[in-house]
Amino acid sequence: AVVEESLGVKPGDILVVKVYSGASGVERTLKVKVVGVMRSFLKGFVGAFRLNLVVVPLDWLQGSIDAGPFVNTVLITVKDKAQVQPLYLALKETYRDAQVYTQQSLLDTVTKVFTALNAVFSVISGAALTAAVITTFAVMSITVRERLREFGLLKAMGISSREILLSVVVEVALIAAVAGVAGVVTGFLGANVVKDVLLRMGINFDVPIAFRPHYAALGMAASLAVALIGAVSPMYKVARLRPLEVMQLWR
């Protein structure tokens, strides 16, 4: 048998395994010789939980518990795709208690799963973007409130609302650009750190993490768009400012 390292045995040891078979759960005690030890792929990922796997040949196990020959999976390959559906229907009709799948049905199932995951992640992303817009709006509103006298004095000096708005837009764009770059760098480095941590924990997660410039550009564009959307209302307030109103608000 090949066993998981969490059982604390080594090749050559004799392991006693209890197997429960049948509808009534009859207990059988089997002795197996350890020929190999495999690393736990869940080590460090779910705490102290272990699978305690013991892998033995299927025919030997069936003979040891008098279960008889049993097959749980049959793979059928056809040369003509047109025969897939008729064969599927024939198998369903012949083996009513069996679960029959075609390649297309499995692909459809996987597609549905990923579609559901995309929907969940879209909702999470939408909530995050909404929170970012609200936060930007709040920060810009506070900033405008604190700089009312400055904007009023600029208007009193003859600077047009358009020029003031342009300066605010440039300021928001610069902040958003810096935040976007910081987010891209943090995300890329953070992904590599998480990967290294998982590998050090013994989890086989050696997935290459590549830097994609178009995704980075998309993230920075989203950062700029969120910042500008959140700043629309405060900027509109700046555009309507009058020097006299500023002095009244500042009292």
Taken in order 100, 103, 109, 110, the sign of the CA dihedral is positive
Helix or strand or coil: residue 31?
strand
Residues of the chain with pLDDT under 70: 21-25, 40-51, 68-72, 202-207, 238, 241, 243-251
What are the residue boundaries of the structural domains of the chain, listed by start? Answer: 2-64, 105-250
pLDDT of residue 49: 46
Nearest 10 degrees: Cα torsion 16, 44, 128, 238? 170
pLDDT of residue 147: 75
pLDDT of residue 71: 66
Question: How many angstroms separate the CA atoms of 136 and 114, rounded?
Answer: 32
Question: What's the one-letter identity of residue 160?
Answer: S
Q: Which residues contact 230 (CB under 8 A, 6 or more apart)?
A: 132, 133, 134, 135, 136, 137, 139, 140
Q: What share of the chain is helix, strand, coil (3-state, %, to 5)?
A: 60, 10, 30
pLDDT tens digits for range 102-143: 888 888 888 898 889 889 988 988 888 788 778 877 877 777
Residue 79 DSSP class: S
pLDDT of residue 249: 55
pLDDT of residue 165: 80
Buried b (16+ CB within 10 A) or exposed e, 182-191: eebeeebeee
Residue 98 DSSP class: S
